[in-house]
Amino acid sequence: MPDDLMRYDLLAQNALKGVVREALRIAETQGLPGEHHFYIAFNTRAPGVELSEKIAARYPREMTIVLQHQYWNLKVHDDRFEVELSFDNVPEHLVIPFDAVKGFLDPAVQFGLQFETQAAARPREVEAPKPAAARAEAHPAPAPAAASGTDDETEDGPLADEPAKVVSLDQFRKK
Protein backbone atom coordinates (compact mmCIF):
# COMPACT_ATOMS: atom_id res chain seq x y z
CA MET A 1 0.00 0.00 0.00
CA PRO A 2 1.41 3.44 -0.88
CA ASP A 3 2.39 5.90 1.84
CA ASP A 4 -0.27 8.45 2.76
CA LEU A 5 1.78 11.58 2.19
CA MET A 6 -1.37 13.70 2.45
CA ARG A 7 -1.96 12.51 6.05
CA TYR A 8 -5.68 12.09 5.61
CA ASP A 9 -5.92 10.80 9.17
CA LEU A 10 -4.77 14.18 10.49
CA LEU A 11 -6.93 16.09 8.01
CA ALA A 12 -10.00 14.15 9.17
CA GLN A 13 -9.21 14.71 12.86
CA ASN A 14 -8.73 18.44 12.28
CA ALA A 15 -12.06 18.61 10.43
CA LEU A 16 -13.84 16.81 13.28
CA LYS A 17 -12.21 19.13 15.83
CA GLY A 18 -13.92 21.88 13.85
CA VAL A 19 -17.23 20.30 14.90
CA VAL A 20 -16.15 20.61 18.54
CA ARG A 21 -15.04 24.21 17.97
CA GLU A 22 -18.36 25.17 16.38
CA ALA A 23 -20.41 23.45 19.10
CA LEU A 24 -18.44 25.42 21.70
CA ARG A 25 -18.97 28.64 19.71
CA ILE A 26 -22.73 28.05 19.83
CA ALA A 27 -22.51 27.58 23.60
CA GLU A 28 -20.34 30.71 23.84
CA THR A 29 -22.72 32.96 21.92
CA GLN A 30 -26.16 31.44 22.62
CA GLY A 31 -25.73 29.19 25.65
CA LEU A 32 -26.46 25.49 25.63
CA PRO A 33 -29.85 24.81 24.01
CA GLY A 34 -32.30 22.35 25.55
CA GLU A 35 -30.67 19.42 27.31
CA HIS A 36 -27.36 19.70 25.44
CA HIS A 37 -24.18 19.53 27.52
CA PHE A 38 -20.61 18.56 26.76
CA TYR A 39 -18.11 16.11 28.20
CA ILE A 40 -14.66 17.12 26.98
CA ALA A 41 -11.68 14.88 27.74
CA PHE A 42 -8.20 16.29 27.21
CA ASN A 43 -4.54 15.59 27.83
CA THR A 44 -3.52 17.83 30.74
CA ARG A 45 0.15 17.68 29.70
CA ALA A 46 -0.30 18.70 26.08
CA PRO A 47 1.51 21.86 24.96
CA GLY A 48 -0.60 24.97 25.46
CA VAL A 49 -2.81 23.53 28.21
CA GLU A 50 -3.03 25.99 31.09
CA LEU A 51 -4.32 24.96 34.50
CA SER A 52 -3.34 25.75 38.05
CA GLU A 53 -0.61 23.65 39.64
CA LYS A 54 -3.21 22.30 42.08
CA ILE A 55 -5.42 21.00 39.26
CA ALA A 56 -2.40 19.76 37.26
CA ALA A 57 -1.25 17.76 40.28
CA ARG A 58 -4.73 16.35 40.82
CA TYR A 59 -5.15 15.39 37.14
CA PRO A 60 -1.61 14.72 35.91
CA ARG A 61 -2.48 13.03 32.59
CA GLU A 62 -6.07 13.41 31.54
CA MET A 63 -9.15 15.23 32.70
CA THR A 64 -12.75 15.28 31.59
CA ILE A 65 -14.76 18.44 32.14
CA VAL A 66 -18.50 18.78 31.79
CA LEU A 67 -20.02 22.01 30.55
CA GLN A 68 -23.61 22.07 31.69
CA HIS A 69 -24.82 24.33 34.53
CA GLN A 70 -21.74 25.90 36.13
CA TYR A 71 -19.21 27.39 33.75
CA TRP A 72 -18.23 30.96 33.08
CA ASN A 73 -16.40 33.09 30.54
CA LEU A 74 -16.28 30.51 27.77
CA LYS A 75 -14.09 31.94 25.00
CA VAL A 76 -13.52 30.00 21.81
CA HIS A 77 -10.50 30.74 19.61
CA ASP A 78 -9.41 29.06 16.38
CA ASP A 79 -6.82 26.87 18.14
CA ARG A 80 -8.08 26.66 21.74
CA PHE A 81 -10.87 27.46 24.17
CA GLU A 82 -10.90 28.97 27.63
CA VAL A 83 -13.40 28.38 30.40
CA GLU A 84 -13.74 29.01 34.11
CA LEU A 85 -14.97 26.16 36.30
CA SER A 86 -15.36 25.58 40.02
CA PHE A 87 -13.35 22.82 41.72
CA ASP A 88 -14.18 22.35 45.42
CA ASN A 89 -15.67 25.87 45.47
CA VAL A 90 -12.48 27.35 44.02
CA PRO A 91 -12.79 29.03 40.61
CA GLU A 92 -10.21 27.85 38.08
CA HIS A 93 -9.35 29.20 34.64
CA LEU A 94 -8.51 26.53 32.05
CA VAL A 95 -7.04 26.99 28.58
CA ILE A 96 -7.39 23.92 26.38
CA PRO A 97 -5.94 23.74 22.85
CA PHE A 98 -8.05 21.70 20.45
CA ASP A 99 -4.95 19.56 19.78
CA ALA A 100 -5.14 18.42 23.44
CA VAL A 101 -8.76 17.24 23.15
CA LYS A 102 -9.09 13.46 23.28
CA GLY A 103 -12.85 13.13 23.33
CA PHE A 104 -16.08 15.06 23.01
CA LEU A 105 -19.53 13.83 23.95
CA ASP A 106 -22.96 15.42 24.00
CA PRO A 107 -24.98 12.79 25.88
CA ALA A 108 -28.26 14.63 25.23
CA VAL A 109 -28.14 13.39 21.63
CA GLN A 110 -25.61 10.56 22.03
CA PHE A 111 -23.08 12.29 19.78
CA GLY A 112 -19.43 11.61 20.49
CA LEU A 113 -16.00 11.92 18.92
CA GLN A 114 -12.66 10.44 19.96
CA PHE A 115 -9.30 11.81 18.86
CA GLU A 116 -5.68 10.80 18.99
CA THR A 117 -3.72 13.60 20.61
CA GLN A 118 -1.25 15.00 18.10
CA ALA A 119 1.17 16.77 20.42
CA ALA A 120 3.73 15.14 22.67
CA ALA A 121 3.06 15.31 26.38
CA ARG A 122 4.98 17.89 28.35
CA PRO A 123 6.64 16.75 31.58
CA ARG A 124 5.15 17.60 34.97
CA GLU A 125 6.74 17.19 38.37
CA VAL A 126 3.74 15.29 39.76
CA GLU A 127 3.20 11.93 38.11
CA ALA A 128 0.32 9.50 38.71
CA PRO A 129 -0.75 6.64 36.43
CA LYS A 130 -4.50 7.18 36.41
CA PRO A 131 -6.78 9.34 34.29
CA ALA A 132 -9.36 11.28 36.29
CA ALA A 133 -12.55 13.12 35.57
CA ALA A 134 -13.59 16.55 36.78
CA ARG A 135 -17.16 17.64 36.53
CA ALA A 136 -18.17 21.24 36.16
CA GLU A 137 -21.59 22.23 34.99
CA ALA A 138 -22.79 25.33 33.15
CA HIS A 139 -24.44 28.19 35.03
CA PRO A 140 -25.26 31.66 33.70
CA ALA A 141 -24.33 33.48 36.92
CA PRO A 142 -20.75 34.81 37.13
CA ALA A 143 -20.16 33.72 40.75
CA PRO A 144 -18.43 30.40 41.55
CA ALA A 145 -20.75 27.56 42.46
CA ALA A 146 -20.53 24.54 44.71
CA ALA A 147 -17.76 22.01 44.34
CA SER A 148 -18.17 19.82 41.33
CA GLY A 149 -14.77 18.19 40.82
CA THR A 150 -14.61 14.42 41.14
CA ASP A 151 -11.74 12.01 40.94
CA ASP A 152 -10.66 8.55 42.03
CA GLU A 153 -9.09 9.18 45.41
CA THR A 154 -8.92 7.38 48.71
CA GLU A 155 -8.71 9.14 52.05
CA ASP A 156 -4.92 8.93 51.76
CA GLY A 157 -4.80 10.57 48.31
CA PRO A 158 -4.78 9.49 44.65
CA LEU A 159 -4.61 5.82 43.79
CA ALA A 160 -0.99 6.09 42.64
CA ASP A 161 -0.32 2.33 42.71
CA GLU A 162 -3.05 1.42 40.23
CA PRO A 163 -2.35 1.10 36.51
CA ALA A 164 -3.73 3.61 34.04
CA LYS A 165 -7.32 3.02 32.97
CA VAL A 166 -8.81 3.64 29.54
CA VAL A 167 -12.17 5.34 29.90
CA SER A 168 -14.55 5.05 26.98
CA LEU A 169 -17.00 7.85 26.31
CA ASP A 170 -19.57 5.13 25.59
CA GLN A 171 -20.08 4.75 29.36
CA PHE A 172 -21.81 8.14 29.36
CA ARG A 173 -24.32 7.24 26.64
CA LYS A 174 -27.94 6.62 27.48
CA LYS A 175 -28.91 2.99 26.99
Please give the Cα distance from 149 to 154 (Å, whole number): 15
- The CATH code of the domain that includes 48 is 2.30.30.220
pLDDT at 118: 56
pLDDT at 2: 86
CB of 94 closer than 8 Å to CB of 83: yes
Q: Is 3 part of a structural domain of the chain? A: no
Q: Is 131 part of a structural domain of the chain? A: yes
Task: Give the pLDDT confidence of 129-157 residue by residue, as tens digits.
Answer: 333 333 343 333 233 332 333 343 333 33
pLDDT at 169: 53
Query: DSSP 3-state assignment of 6?
Result: coil
CB of 137 closer than 8 Å to CB of 83: no
Q: Is 110 part of a structural domain of the chain? A: yes
Looking at the 3D structure of the chain, how many domains does it have?
Answer: 1
Q: Is 52 part of a structural domain of the chain? A: yes
Q: Is 1 part of a structural domain of the chain? A: no
Q: Range of 150's domain?
A: 8-172
Q: Is 73 part of a structural domain of the chain? A: yes
Q: Is 128 part of a structural domain of the chain? A: yes
Please give the Cα distance from 122 to 71 (Å, whole number): 27
What's the whole-number mean pLDDT along residues 74-89? Answer: 95
